[in-house]
Amino acid sequence: MLQQVDSTGTAPTDSVVAAVPMTGDAISRFLALKTFEQWPAVLLRVVLIMVCARVLIYLVDRILTRWTKRYLDAAPLDPRRQRALTIEGLIRSTARYVIWPVALITVLSALKIDITALVATAGVASLAVGFGAQTLVKDVIAGIFLLFDGTVAVGDRISVNGTFGIVEHIGVRLIKVRKFDGELLMVPAGELRIFGNTSIGFTRSIVDIGVAYGTDIQKVMGILEQLGQKWIDDNKEFCIDEKPEVLSIMGFGDSAIMLKLVITVRPGEQFRADRELKLWIKEAFEREGVEIPFPQRTVWIAESRDLRTRS
């Protein structure tokens, strides 16, 4: 507890009352720097402190850039590349959170301001500010746990509240997710509680196919299995399973019988597999004469009758 003896020689027992005179002394010492002999040296010291802080941040950024440059040519979902980019963003944000506050405290010391008195005075107000900073603290703690758990990394494709995007930056407090249309989402780490990650383990390319009700289902299933196997044989380095899976009659639509073709691939390859398989299926159906249905309606028109009574 900080105390200041008053003119009567008694020491106040309240820390708030004790901190105020010490803060006043600090301000008095700061205002005492009025002579021309003191101010140039103090200002020079302040400028040097700020320049040193900026140089330190520049050096950290420079070292991180050179370190991650060796991994940029790797595949987007390469674990080494993801780990390097994740650590880079974490160190960049941490360096700024540490260097600038230390520089500010050093500047206050150069200005002959008693930091202890200011901290004691700020401690009284911290009770009120603490309630407003709960969200910030929660975001920082959640961000640290996400990094240590390894559930998300730079380059991962994740879904947040039904929105899909690619993680571009992970900081101590904030995660940046780029949507397909280019929009950049700012997601506080504390809000990232339930999310999906399609970049871990494996993914599946699921192609829905509709055929007309009069189509030979066994023939269609054979065509789909051949196309799926051909795609796997041409892209073995991207596939997890060696055989495709054809699911027969997954539903009865208004004008089509629904089937599915499923291929298990590495994360990130499901989109290319979807595009190529759909093109191959359309071309194969045209060659084999398999009808791809579209919505149709049959309208019956009753003949008009003369209901007038004859006289």
Domain ranges of the chain: 15-134, 147-197, 203-288
Q: Which residue has the higher pLDDT, 121 or 168?
A: 168
Task: Please check whether the domain covering 15-134 is classified as CATH 1.10.287.
Answer: yes
42, 56, 93 from 79: Cα distances, Å: 49, 29, 21
pLDDT single digits (tens) 89-110: 778 878 887 888 888 888 877 7
pLDDT at 250: 86
Return the CATH number of the domain spanning residue range 203-288. Answer: 3.30.70.100
Give the model's confidence band at 25: pLDDT under 50 very low, under 70 low, under 90 confident, else very high. low
Whole-angstrom Cα distance, residue 115 to residue 189?
Answer: 32
Q: Which CATH class is domain 147-197?
A: mainly beta
Report the predicted TM-score, pTM, of the whole model to 2 decimal places: 0.55
pLDDT single digits (tens) 220-260: 999 999 999 999 999 888 888 888 989 888 888 888 889 99
Beta strands in the chain (DSSP E): 157-160, 163-170, 174-179, 184-188, 195-197, 203-211, 245-252, 257-265
Burial of 270: CB neighbours in 10 Å, binned 0-12, 13-18, 19+: buried
Question: Strand pairing of 257-265 and 203-211?
Answer: antiparallel
Helix axes 79-110, 115-132, angle to 10 degrees: 130
Whole-angstrom Cα distance, residue 2 to residue 21?
Answer: 10
pLDDT single digits (tens) 201-214: 888 889 999 888 88
46, 139, 222, 262 from 168: Cα distances, Å: 36, 18, 42, 30
Helix axes 115-132, 15-31, angle to 10 degrees: 120
